[in-house]
Amino acid sequence: LAKTTQPVSMDSYEGQEVNITCSHNNIATNDYITWYQQFPSQGPRFIIQGYKTKVTNEVASLFIPADRKSSTLSLPRVSLSDTAVYYCLVGDPGSARQLTFGSGTQLTVLP
Amino acid sequence: GAVVSQHPSRVICKSGTSVKIECRSLDFQATTMFWYRQFPKQSLMLMATSNEGSKATYEQGVEKDKFLINHASLTLSTLTVTSAHPEDSSFYICSARGLANYNEQFFGPGTRLTVL
């Protein structure tokens, strides 16, 4: 399973764009990159998933360079409610094996 | 999106007793369900993977006789913590994956277990 490395924590201010980068040097051909958000005492919530280039949905964008050894989650104009832990996971969705959670990034949005 | 529920949301029990936690997929059939444990300020750790109708696959270091998992139907999986001890106190989270949404996992809200 591909191991991921993320910053332990990040601070930002309301209204700013936040970019969280994840390194996954040994990503495999069939692996997708998935990001989850978790609030205290809640289960993780799916944010976005991608395989290559750029994916955008109503809450975030995911940028994946051509070598796929890293990815960047971009949150536009964050608010206080975006304070949470963000996890980057790498794995093959078609595999029976479960994705492995890394240590995550604690994002704190300040007023 | 698909919804996964857990019951109870929080439970307090005495040391030595057993506790059952239910995980249900409310609007889809979950061919595979996963059980995680999360200690304070730590990441989620996978405990076991269960497929409907077959025995669960446990991760290394997880005692299968202590954490009994049953996945008897496509919408329900249960985790029973047997002879619970204070060190079993944790946040237990399940997730489910179905045939129609195989690229995505849906997580339950978690169950806070406190063993006195």
What tens digit of pLDDT does each residue of A41-59 get? 999 999 999 999 999 999 9
3-state secondary structure B13-31: ECCCCCEEEEEEECCCCEE
- Residue B87 phi/psi, 5-degree rounding, is -70, -10
Summarize the confidence of residues A14-23 as an average pLDDT: 97
* Alpha carbon distance B50, B43 (integer Å): 21
Q: Is the predicted pLDDT of residue A98 greater than 90, yes or no?
A: no
Question: pLDDT grade, residue B54 (50/70/90)?
Answer: confident
Which among B105, B80, B94, B83 has a CA at the least distance from the CA of B1? B105
pLDDT at A94: 64
Q: Which residues of A touch B (CB under 8 A)?
A: 32, 34, 36, 41-46, 49, 87, 93-94, 96-104
pLDDT at A85: 97
Task: Spell out which residues of chain B touch residue A103, defining contact as CB-CB under 8 Å.
Answer: 43
- Closest residue to B103, CB basis, from A32, A45, A101: A32
Is the CB of B93 less than 8 angstroms away from the CB of A44? yes
Q: Is the predicted pLDDT of residue B1 greater than 70, yes or no?
A: no
Task: Spell out which residues of chain A touch residue B5, defining contact as CB-CB under 8 Å.
Answer: none
pLDDT at A53: 92
Which among B87, B96, B89 has a CA at the least distance from the CA of B31? B96
Question: pLDDT grade, residue B2 (50/70/90)?
Answer: confident
Question: pLDDT grade, residue A96 (50/70/90)?
Answer: low
Question: pLDDT grade, residue A105 (50/70/90)?
Answer: very high
- Residue B88 phi/psi, 5-degree rounding, is -85, -5
Beta-sheet strand order (sheet of A53-56): A18-23, A70-75, A61-64, A53-56
Q: Is the predicted pLDDT of residue A32 greater than 60, yes or no?
A: yes
CB B21 within 8 A of CB B31: no
Question: pLDDT grade, residue A6 (50/70/90)?
Answer: very high
Token readout for B47 is 């405990």
Percent of chain A whose predicted confidence (pLDDT) is above 70: 92
* Alpha carbon distance B34, A43 (integer Å): 12
